Amino acid sequence: MTRDPSTPTDPTRFDCDADSSATIPPRHEVVTTRDGARSIRDTHLREVMHPVVGARVESEQLYAGQSRLRERLRKDDWHSNDIALHPNHLNTNHLHPNHLDGEQLVLFDVGLGAGSNALAARRISESLLEDSHARRLTIVSYENDLGALKLALETEHAESFGLDGEPGDAARALLAHGRHETARTRWILREGDLLEQLMREELRAEIIFWDPFSPRANPALWNAAAFTLLRSRCAPRCTLFTYAAATSVRAAMLLGGFAVGIGAGTGTTQETTAAACDARDLTKPLDARWLQRLARSSAPFPADAPEDALARIQSAPQFRHGPNEG
């Protein structure tokens, strides 16, 4: 549920038309983006989820597409043997016992919002029903406010957010029971404070969709401590994708132990950010040219960066080994 970090704080400057005419708006409202897509705005934080191109396009391009989820579920040219190093069935009594076989791909959906990113991943998984060799998908969605999903599920909005029919039934089951399961896909809800949930998390992610509110609105989820914790919950060849491309965000990821690179652009955003536990899994890893820009930046580091942050980042393996993109 991407929030544009450059989103203005003045609500009159949004290029969206709100559907709500209430004098005191609710926490969430449906809006129309500049491109005519439907999205949801948080009226308290004054940020729009998936601005410009809308939820479905951005979730498919920025997250599901970049992550190569389909190929990884089908084990096409991917490191599927790594799952043996980090089995994702660690004493999880809430999971179906018939599927505790290790042949699953775990995806952390951070910032459930209206469910767009999770639904994009789920569509891919469900499309592989006839592929008997494809791994099952476990989506773990983290969210501390379920209002956006509840709004998107309302009858007049459901179709616009891909929540009509069976996907809507799955989302309603998720809200009611904290989980939903099919032959192909297990969807689990972790409700509450994200960092507290991650500290308790037993599963290990192979893919992360990092989509909380922007660093301006939620700085605690974009600092070095947050990414250090997240890194400890990753499988060996985990990859992460996010809309944020600020220098301080990338520095926080590097300080947290990730290799960091440039992600594909979406909408009016020229580039996003990709990160990985192994730099070999990055298409465009940051290089020495980025380090030079880091040294010149007026706001290069997150607030919790150590005094020797620059030296730590310069010594990261991806820079020592000379990646070929910047």
Q: Strand pairing of 17-18 and 28-32?
A: antiparallel
204, part of any domain: yes
Q: How many domains are contained in the chain?
A: 1
Q: Is residue 129 part of a domain?
A: yes
Residue 236's pLDDT band (cuts 50, 70, 90): very high
* Residue 48 falls inside a structural domain: no
Kindly state whether residue 20 falls inside one of the protein's structural domains. Answer: no
Contact 290, 315 (CB under 8 A): no
Query: Does the pTM exceed 0.85?
Result: no
% of residues, the chain, pLDDT over 70: 79
The answer to whether position 32 is within a domain reads no
Domain limits for position 101: 55-320
Contact 190, 140 (CB under 8 A): yes
Point out the least confidently predicted range of 17-21, 92-96, 99-103, 150-154: 92-96
Residue 161: inside a domain, yes or no?
yes
CA 152, 39, 67 angle in degrees (round to 5)? 95
Band the pLDDT of 84: cuts 50, 70, 90.
very low
CB burial of 292-304 (b: ≥16 within 10 Å; e: otherwise) equals eebeeeeebbbee
Residue 181 lies in a domain: yes
* pLDDT, averaged across the chain: 84
Phi/psi at 61 (nearest 5 deg)? Answer: -80, -50
What is the pLDDT, as a whole number, of residue 69? 97
22 in any annotated domain: no
Q: What are phi and psi of 312, to 5 degrees?
A: -65, -45
* Residue 312 belongs to domain with CATH number: 3.40.50.150
Query: d(Cα 240, Cα 260) in Å, to the nearest integer?
Result: 9
